[in-house]
A and B are shown apart, each in its own frame.
Chain A
Amino acid sequence: MRQLALSDDILLQVEQPARYIGNEFNSVIKNKEDIAIRFAMCFPDVYEIGMSHLGIQILYSLLNSFEDTWCERVYSPWPDLDKIMRDRKIPLFALESQEPVKDFDFLGITIQYEMCYTNILQILDLSGIPLLSKDRTKKDPIVIGGGPCTYNPEPIADFFDLFYIGEGETRYRELLDLYREWKNSGEERIVFLQKASQIPGIYVPGFYEEVYNEDWTIKERKKLYDKAPDMIHKEIVKDISHVHYPDKQVVPFIKVTQDRVVLEIQRGCIRGCRFCQAGELYRPVREKDPDVLLENAKTLIKNTGHEEISLSSLSSSDYKKLPQLLEQLMEFCHENHVNISLPSLRIDAFSLDVMKHVQDIKKSSVTFAPEAGSQRMRNVINKGLTHEDILNGAIMAFRGGWTRVKLYFMLGLPFETDEDIAGIGELANDIAAAFFDEIPKEQRREPVQIVASTSFFVPKPFTAFQWARMNTKEEFIDKAYKTRAGIHAQLNQKRIKYIWHEADLSELEGVLARGDRRLNKAILKVYESGGIFDAWSEYYDNERWLKAFEECGIDYTFYTNRERPVDEILPWDFLDCGVSKEFLLREWENARKESVTPNCKVQCNHCGAAKYGCGICFDARF
């Protein structure tokens, strides 16, 4: 039997010992002697969050499909265990073998949100790997980052040896082959990095340097290795139906956030909402063959024993063959006592009909994400959802027996006025009024309940709003109060509940999202003064960040509180995510003009992603 890295005493002392013991069904154990490459795949947050991430499951399965490679999982030890490991000098270990991460060949870290940056340092530190890439030697694992945050990797560039830009399925084999060859040679670490920099999609931050102007803007990027590429182009899977998909997903013992089979039905989104980074990064939309999906679903349900399956995509309603897929899937699931969950479905007659069959109306709610309160503002952000759409959808839902409606909005969007904010309360009120108008008294099962929640808008790289000024914390809070006042002024205010999120975290997220290399020092300082789990409000300490910025001589408002001129060099300009800067600029202008851009299914807007030669750009339009 495997020897656990932690003693019984420790495991009985910490919250949820199951986070650290591995042994889950479908986790992969290999014979060390047959293995050339040990790969530790890390999601730098607590187990329950990390285990829910589909991307890791895909890469885990892909890397383990290579005979010479053993991929294991690593998550952030929760603060209770973190403290014990530091006190007793226990090195961080991977779940499967329970062996120290430091002895691995690779440490891959998926970076899904900015607020996990200090957790990356926690992982490195607990592993005993030097925090800075430049201090590592041939003995240390190669630290490689992937995921959406790598589309502006500069604030964490010092901590990584490599970044993989784009979809993981395409280049790992090449990278591993290169590694094996280098490992057996007597060559220095830098030689491997040099060779890796020649692989498409691989970015070696150490081969570049940012040079700054007096006014803090970027003057230029200098190359420190002349063969390093000027531009890094994102990697993309062209035929998503026939790319590796895990036929077994690791089944956790404890309840995790995604406690179900996750079936990815397509990648990308046709919509082009101007605030949305995912909508740009994963272009073009590639739909998976419904027959392949059905096979995947059956295999996965059988191999995991999960009682629920969830369709995953940015916007499932846009999947062309959704009715066909759902029909077959529902039949299969019905026979096998499996529930279906359908997030990101647009509310319409079809989706309501489907939902009626797969969930309990009494316990569920219908969700709309208008993102902005007024039509004018929805045109600015290119959210093609009208007041009428929402009202009609809500009325249909009410007639179908639903009484709960959730509404999602953003505050602090570019060009926002007080009228736009007032629109949030008005829209919520109109929906409540529609309930009372449309549903006769005797048919009201319970009174209508509307929950309006707002988040604060954070501009992200590679969106039309990448140049936008972000609101200050004070402005955000002021807008939240206005939203609340607007709701309270409504006739049906008693039926509307308002929720908003903290402004501190949004502000910092804004700094990190569009920052440059000068932030590395500050992040390191925050970590050194005890900051971890910043994504968890109970551990987030705003003061710690402000102090670190000050000590590093960083005026963080430089990154957030100004509109950036369109000719300014942006920290992520050296990356090519497929969408051209010209297109984003056009969209930035269209936003200013409140002009709507049709989605990819209606017409091609020549964003640049057609160069990949796949997906929606080449599908017949209807």
Chain B
Amino acid sequence: MIENMDNNLQEQDPMAQKLSDLKEESLKQEKQVKEKIPVIKCRIKFAKYGVMKFIGHLDIMRFFQKVFRRSGIDIAYTEGFSPHQVMSFASPLAVGVCSNGEYLDVSLYSATTSQDMIDRMNAQSVEGIRILSFQQLPEKAEKAMSAVAAASYTVAFREDVKVRIPDLSKVVCDFYAQDSIIIEKQGKKTVSQLDLKEHIHELYEKDGSVYMLIDTGSVTHIKPMVIMEQLLTFAGITEKPEELFTVTREDTYLKQDDQLYPMNAFCTDFT
């Protein structure tokens, strides 16, 4: 009650004592963070499928924060009033797209084994998000977000549409065999030209679908549908690619010495 507040102010009641202890404790901890408690950098690979494809990137981040808390993984926090986990996702996935190769970097204070951490996370996950690997990142590795260089995709015909490309294998082959695949890019003021061919590392037909490995990330970001649009024009089909295909990201890649490697290529298991 308000009437008591003056008493409260004067008396050093046990609660106030406790509170100031806590405050000291937290100051101490903040200092520790500033002095940098050593953390272990990790990279997690996961798949996103089923109904989870409707959950947007930011909400997937929130989802992971809660999975870490529930699974009791010893994840590192920032300092301050609302401590939060530091996470870096490789490449945001558009709503509606499934993936077999998503990556996420986190820092831990301590780790158990890879398998244990994978199991613990999967036990706290939902249908549609599955942890595939949980590994240690080399000390000098670039953060997932900035390391991304390319991604591979499978573009499949939707089951509910009838349009198919006859002799798909050959069409894709001929399309990719062109000297250049020029598209116009609308900039802020000017229109520039871009040769898609330079950004396609692999492109072929596979089991009735189109498989591609293309540049992704901060330098050049090519969307699979942009390639499909050109392919459809090449094949003389007028429908929009969004109406015909579904996209699955198969894996995400980083570049080292001009070579592409899966994002977890240089990671090691916790044993």
A-side interface residues toward B, CB under 8 Å? 1-2, 4, 8, 11-12, 17-18, 21-25, 251, 253-255, 301-307, 317, 323, 326-327, 330-331, 334, 336-337, 339, 346, 348-350, 353-354, 357, 359-360, 385-386, 389, 392-393, 396
Q: Could you pull out 24 A-B pairs where Cβ atoms are within 8 angstroms?
A: A11-B54, A12-B96, A24-B126, A25-B70, A254-B55, A255-B59, A304-B66, A305-B67, A305-B70, A305-B124, A306-B66, A330-B22, A336-B69, A346-B2, A348-B2, A348-B5, A348-B8, A353-B15, A353-B16, A359-B81, A360-B80, A360-B81, A392-B5, A393-B5
Cβ contact within 8 Å between A350 and B5: yes
- A12-B95, A12-B96, A253-B59 known; A337-B77 Cβ under 8 A: yes
Supposing A8-B96, A253-B62, A396-B5 touch, asked if A307 and B18 sit within 8 A by C-beta, the answer is no
Is B65 at the interface (CB under 8 A from chain A)? yes
Assess whether A23 is in contact with B62, with CB atoms less than 8 Å apart: no
Given the interface pairs A253-B62, A302-B70, the reply to whether A307 lies near B52 with Cβ below 8 Å is no
Task: Determine whether the beta carbon of B96 is less than 8 Å from that of A253.
Answer: no
Chain B 45-84 interface 0/1 with A at a Cβ cutoff of 8 Å (1 = within) = 0000011101110010011011111100000010011111
Q: Chain B at the A interface: mostly helix, strand, loop or mixed?
A: helix
Q: Which residues of A contact B128 (CB under 8 A)?
A: 23
Q: Write out the residue numbers on chain A whose beta carbons fall within 8 Å of the beta carbon of B19.
A: 327, 330, 353-354, 357
Q: Are the C-beta atoms of B26 and A334 separated by less than 8 Å?
A: yes
Q: A1-B127, A21-B51, A251-B66 are in contact. Are A357 and B22 (CB under 8 A)?
A: yes
A622: min CB distance to chain B, Å: 11
From A18, A21, A307, A389, B65 is in contact (CB under 8 Å) with A307
Which residue of chain A is the closest to B55 with respect to CB atoms?
A253
CB within 8 Å of A: which of B1-21?
1-2, 4-6, 8-9, 13, 15-16, 18-19
Closest to A601 in B: B1
A305 touching B127, Cβ below 8 Å: no
Question: 7 more A-B contacts (CB under 8 A) besides A23-B126, A331-B18, A357-B19?
Answer: A17-B54, A23-B52, A25-B125, A253-B59, A330-B19, A353-B15, A353-B19
User: Does B23 make an interface contact (CB < 8 A)?
Assistant: yes
* Least CB distance, A386 to chain B, in whole angstroms: 8
Specify which chain B residues have a CB less than 8 angstroms from the CB of A353 in the assembled complex: 15-16, 19
Give the distance in Å from the alpha carbon of A52 to the alpha carbon of B198 in the complex: 50
Q: How far is the CB of B78 from chain A (nearest CB, A)?
A: 10
**Alpha-carbon separation in the docked complex, A354 to B8 (Å):** 13
Tell whether, in the assembled complex, residue A339 and residue B82 are in contact, meaning their CB atoms are under 8 Å apart: yes
The smallest beta-carbon distance between A588 and chain B, in angstroms, is 26
Contact partners of A253 in chain B: CB under 8 A? 55, 59, 62-63
Q: How far is the CB of A58 from chain B (nearest CB, A)?
A: 21
* A255 to B65 Cα, complex, angstroms: 13
Question: Is the CB–CB distance between A23 and B67 below 8 Å?
Answer: no
Residues of A within 8 A of B26 (CB): 334
Q: Which residues of A contact B56 (CB under 8 A)?
A: 18
**Are A334 and B5 interface neighbours, CB within 8 A?**
no
B158 closest partner in A (C-beta): A8
Distance from B139 Cβ to chain A, minimum over Cβ atoms (Å):
26
Is B22's CB under 8 angstroms from A349's CB?
Answer: no
CA distance A350 to B16 in the complex (A): 8
Q: CB of B195 within 8 A of chain A? A: no
**In the complex, which residues of chain A have a beta carbon less than 8 angstroms from the beta carbon of B25?**
334
* Residues of B close to A302: CB separation below 8 A: 70
Q: Are A23 and B51 in contact (CB under 8 A)?
A: yes
State whether B83 touches A337 (Cβ < 8 A): yes
Chain B residues positioned under 8 Å from A251 (CB to CB): 66
Query: Would you call A255 and B22 a contact (CB within 8 A)?
Result: no
CA distance A24 to B66 in the complex (A): 12
Q: Which residues of B lie under 8 Å from residue A25 when comparing CB positions? A: 66, 70, 124-126
CA–CA, A331 and B23, complex, Å: 11
Contact in complex: A305, B22 (CB < 8 Å) = no
With contact pairs A253-B63, A255-B62 given, residues A305 and B69 touching in the complex (Cβ less than 8 Å): yes
Give which listed residue, A4, A254, A303, contacts B70 with CB less than 8 A. A303
| A349 B70 Cβ-Cβ under 8 A | no
Query: Given the complex of chains A and B, what is the CA–CA distance between A396 and B10 in angstroms?
Result: 13
Q: Which of A17, A304, A357, A385 lies in contact with B23, CB distance below 8 A? A: A357
- Please, which residues of chain B bring their CB within 8 A of the CB of A389? 2
In the complex the two chains form, what is the Cα distance from A532 to B74 in whole Å? 47
- Chain B 66-112 interface residues, beta-carbon cutoff 8 Å to A: 66-70, 77, 80-84, 95-96
What separation, in Å, do the CA atoms of A326 and B2 have in the docked complex? 18
Chain B residue contacts of A348, Cβ below 8 A:
1-2, 4-5, 8
* CB <8 Å contact, B70 and A327: no
Taken residue by residue from 153 to 171, chain B's Cβ proximity to chain A (1 for < 8 Å, 0 otherwise) reads as 0000000000000000000
Q: Which residues of B contact A2 (CB under 8 A)?
A: 51
Shortest Cβ distance from B77 into chain A, in angstroms?
Answer: 5
Contacts of B22 in A (CB 8 A): 330-331, 334, 357
The reply to whether A393 and B2 contact each other, CB–CB distance below 8 Å, is: yes
The CB with the most chain A CB atoms within 10 A, among B13, B19, B84, is that of B19
